[in-house]
Amino acid sequence: MHTRQLLAIAAGFVLIASPVSADLLEEYRWHDKLSRGVVNAVSSPIEIARGIDLTSRSQGVAKGWTIGLVKGFAGTGLRLGAGVLETLTFPFNWPDEFKDPLIEPKFVWEDWHGEYLE
């Protein structure tokens, strides 16, 4: 191949891979919903540690290991349920047309501060 042909091919790749608008980056697609669902189902037990940690920080260690533990198990059930539901319904526009997360934060490791399940 000649240099001009290589440059034309490279320019074509650059045009194809050009950045999309910020609005399109925020839109969820079926593979986003599927991967989020699987990750949330698998990582749901981390909610137990999160419940203990966040409750301990805001209300003290004793409440963290009692109330926070119970809240963590509840959070685990919520995140597991949301993950399974998103995994099963990923090809459909249900329950949300834009495939937004069913639970906030959308992953267990995000927003790890403040009150837990308040």
The model scores a pTM over 0.75: no
Two structure tokens written together for 69: 């533990």
* Mean pLDDT (the chain, rounded): 82
Most confident range, picked from 1-10, 23-32, 75-84, 95-104: 75-84
72: part of which helix (H) or strand (E)? helix 61-88
Q: Residue 21 has what pLDDT?
A: 39
* Side chain identity at residue 99, one-letter code: K
With beta carbons less than 8 A apart as the criterion, state whether 46 and 108 touch.
Answer: yes
Res. 24 pLDDT band, cuts 50 70 90: very low
Q: pLDDT (tens digit, 9 = 90+) per residue, 38-91?
A: 999 999 999 999 999 999 999 999 999 999 999 999 999 999 999 999 999 988
Q: What are phi and psi of 69, to 5 degrees?
A: -65, -45
